[in-house]
Amino acid sequence: MSRMLWILLILTGAGLLWAGCEGSETNEPSDSDGDASEQELTEDSDEENGEEESVDLCEPGDFRCHPESPDIVQICRNDGEGWETYRECSEGMQCVDDNCEALADADETDDEPDGDEDGDVPVDGDPVDTDGDESTEETDDENDDEEDDGLAVPCPGHPEMMLVEDFCIDKYEAVAMENSDCTGTIYGQNEDDFPEGFQDCVNCMEDGLCVDHFDCRTEAWAPQTEPVYACSVPGIIPTRFITWYQARRACVNVGKTLCSSDQWVQACEGPENNEFPYGPDYMDSVCWDNAGGEEPLESPGETGGRIGCESSYGVFDQSGNVSEWLSTAEVEGINYYLINGCYWLCDHTNTEALSCVGEIPYYTGAWISRESIGFRCCLNQDQD
């Protein structure tokens, strides 16, 4: 009897031991769950890392509507690696064809709503307010106000220019190029790098040099056997070392003219009559100048390189970067012409010179070329 009791006790203990082992095995799935979670986290991390490593390449200066927000226009970065916000469309407007445009009137959008042939009941089932003329008129008035607010609109037929009431102006400071399609050699990057057949003065030439400046007739043309063309393109150091004569001719070669002082200032001030292209008050480091940076700028920047340095009309770099030749003369018949916009060495001690109007009228001899002076072109609406 005692022996049988011992046998039963031994068998019972073995059973308990086996059950304990089996129970410990059943706890293993919790560890495997943890491994799975870690694996999922690793996969997610790999996916995130993969997204960070992938680069959305694009053409510098190109525009597009934000793929996830129709209210935002994006611009391709100057390095061509990704997009950044260019502008947010105002209320009542949406990005269409890479530009902010007024939304369609309510009458047009409500004629045939999706999913309802009769047009009496919208998709969400709410009845149409047939007596909603007042709200429609209010919407139309709001859209009209938006259209009259001087929003940036490309020049018809000239996407490289912006529309300013009755004229158009180059969006960027000019880059003088070898070919009319803005290809080939870029001139004005170094002193005296223009071709010999693109003269720097008018009919007072002697061995290729301009002489007797005060007797040069401004309406006369210099010989031009190698024409140069003014281009408005982003992401390039603007042309400098160019005389007023050459700048005027480069504009004419593409069917445009040098901007007058009134045109230039109007495009800069916008309909708000801002003192600076970006607003009423000076702001450090918004434009390419030496006001806010710790390290002084030593050269001009690329056209359109400072996204915030833009007027309400969508015109870039009218403050700082390079000064710009204008067609306005100091005195009729005397070859001194206004330049405006100051340049990259202007700083916070001389902010008036960086304003749209400038500190004082600054006239320079038309035969002079400097590293700090560039240009841009304009086009009257009846000129095209």
Residue 267 has pLDDT above 50, yes or no: yes
pLDDT for 365 equals: 87
Global pTM exceeds 0.75 = no
Domain boundaries, the chain: 63-147, 155-384
pLDDT in tens, 106-128: 333 333 333 333 333 333 333 33
Q: Which residue has the higher pLDDT, 161 or 146?
A: 161
Please choose, from the candidates 180, 192, 313, 317, the residue with its C-alpha nearest in 3D space to the C-alpha of residue 251: 180
155-384 CATH choice from 2.40.50, 1.10.540, 3.90.1580, 1.20.950: 3.90.1580
Average pLDDT of the segment spanning 309-314? 94
pLDDT in tens, 63-91: 788 888 888 878 777 677 888 776 666 56
Average pLDDT of the segment spanning 352-378? 88
Average pLDDT of the segment spanning 177-198? 92
Residue 224: count of CB within 10 angstroms of its CB: 15
pLDDT in tens, 28-46: 433 434 444 444 443 444 4
What tokens were used for 344? 């990259």
pLDDT for 226 equals: 93
pLDDT for 17 equals: 39
Long-range contacts at 57-61 (CB < 8 A, ≥ 24 apart): 57/81, 58/82, 58/83, 60/234, 60/235, 61/233, 61/234, 61/235, 61/304
Pairing mode, strands 257-258 and 167-170? unpaired
Q: What are phi and psi of 378, to 5 degrees?
A: -125, 170
pLDDT for 48 equals: 44
pLDDT in tens, 161-173: 999 989 999 999 9
Query: 66-70, 223-227, 364-368, 380-384: which range is least confident on average?
Result: 380-384
Average pLDDT, the chain: 73
With a CB cutoff of 8 Å and minimum separation 6, the contacts of 325 are: 242, 244, 247, 248, 258, 337, 339, 373, 374, 375
pLDDT for 210 equals: 66
Q: Which residue has the higher pLDDT, 97 or 132?
A: 97
3-state secondary structure of 364: strand
- H-type alpha helices, the chain: 2-26, 28-53, 106-109, 133-147, 244-252, 261-269
Partners of 219 in beta bridges: none
